[in-house]
Amino acid sequence: MSTTRFISIDGNSPGYFVWLAALLLVVLLGLGAAYYMETEGHWVTGMSNQVVWGTPHVFAVFLIVAASGALNVASIASVFGKVEYKPLARMSGLLAIALLVGGLAVLVLDLGRADRLIVAMTYYNFKSIFAWNIFLYTGFMAIVAVYLWLMMERRMNRYTRPAGFAAFIWRIILTTGTGSIFGFLVARDAYDSALMAPMFVIMSFAYGLAIFILVMLAAYHWTGRPLGEAIVQRLKNLLGVFVASVLYFVIVYHLTNLYFTERHGVEAFLLLHGGVYTQVFWIGQILLGSLLPLALFYHPTLGSSRTVVAVGSALVVFGGLAQMYVFIIGGQAYPLSLFPDAQVSSSFFDGVVASYSPSLPEVLLGIGGVGIALAIVTFAIKVLEFLPASLADQDVGSA
């Protein structure tokens, strides 16, 4: 494994510049959408004082969660000593930082008054999980950046293992903090659960690895570099385990809510008569985002096809966005229970399911965050040596 040769891509072909230009256009559209919402006000969006976290938050939370999981490959190499994953550790760290930057960009621009971020960075209320996350997100980027430097500086390679341990522990804490944002919101029946933290951790494993596989397949296909079947199949099988684990947590989460009588209302809303949220849950999250990828990954013949692996990974990403949409927006649409065991009626939407329809600016801002992440990766692999020259089976080694 010490003979692995890393080289940057040429990045001089018309295809490269067209791809980079397309990503920059996506980023500009996202920034334009943020400017439009900032100047016109959030009335131009589908959000309201009932649904205050809209589609941009779906993308932002998904990217932040996936950023932690994108570090899976590096953690497997450094923490668990699986040397066959070591050649991809650099790319794993780069993708983790890029996804986090993209997610945070969407988050800051969606909240309005992005200039007020300086207040959140200088005055802290440590009773708020949001204040904790300022440290968790910035600390994650700093630790992973140092981790990357230690991997790329040959003289410092002996320190990569302790740095890998630090990054692994930090990313678990980070995702726990993100899940706790919702777990601590006791006013929302769909959120208030101790299962949020561990479920977000396993969700990060699945979504981050799915994105990593897609980026790896695209990078090696477009650059014409050798990519062996062994590493693809290992990552595919691991992704299948993570997807099954997410599905397990989702089932336990809903069964737990069904055990409590006070949660029967929100469960009936999400699972049975929630309209678009119920459809997105069963079709987008469960069928297309979980069951179909598992069937493709573990099919005796289809599972060996790279195209099928790519399709399955893309479905996992789609299912993750569907899960975030149902969880974040559906959880807000269900009315607050201000007075348990009492019927409340007023002109202020008490007991009324909130309506929400994503607007074009919201969607463009969310996709803009994805564009930021991919643009960072596209540019970085051109200027620095993140990709191995070959991932052929004979060059990767065996478990």
Residue at token pair 């069904």: 258
Q: If 0-12 CB within 10 Å is exposed, 13-18 middle and 19+ buried, where does residue 83 land? A: middle
Report the C-alpha gap between 76 and 93 in whole angstroms. 12
Is residue 339 pLDDT above 80, yes or no?
A: no
Which of 6-15, 89-98, 221-230 has the largest mean confidence? 89-98
Over residues 218-238, the pLDDT tens digits come to 999 998 899 989 999 999 999
Over residues 263-299, the pLDDT tens digits come to 898 999 999 998 999 999 999 999 999 999 999 999 9
DSSP-derived 3-state class of residue 280: helix
The pLDDT confidence band at residue 84, using thresholds 50, 70 and 90, is confident
Residue ranges per structural domain of the chain: 14-396
Q: If 0-12 CB within 10 Å is exposed, 13-18 middle and 19+ buried, where does residue 399 land? A: exposed
Q: Taking the model in full, what pTM does it have?
A: 0.93
Query: How many CA atoms lie within 13 Å of 103's alpha carbon, on the beta-carbon side?
Result: 24
Asked whether 249 and 202 are in contact (CB, 8 A), the reply is yes
Please provide the average confidence, as pLDDT, over all residues in the chain: 90
The pLDDT confidence band at residue 347, using thresholds 50, 70 and 90, is low
Among residues 118, 157, 123, the alpha carbon closest in space to that of 2 is found at 157
* Domain 14-396 CATH class label: mainly alpha
- Give Cα 38 to chain centroid, integer Å: 25
Is residue 186 pLDDT above 50, yes or no?
A: yes
What is the reported pLDDT for 130?
Answer: 75
Over residues 112-168, the pLDDT tens digits come to 777 777 777 777 777 777 778 888 899 999 999 999 999 988 888 888 899 999 999
What is the reported pLDDT for 249?
Answer: 96
Q: Where are the alpha helices (DSSP H) in the chain?
A: 14-40, 55-69, 72-78, 89-111, 117-122, 129-152, 160-183, 196-223, 229-259, 264-271, 276-279, 292-297, 306-324, 331-333, 360-383, 393-396
The pLDDT confidence band at residue 344, using thresholds 50, 70 and 90, is low
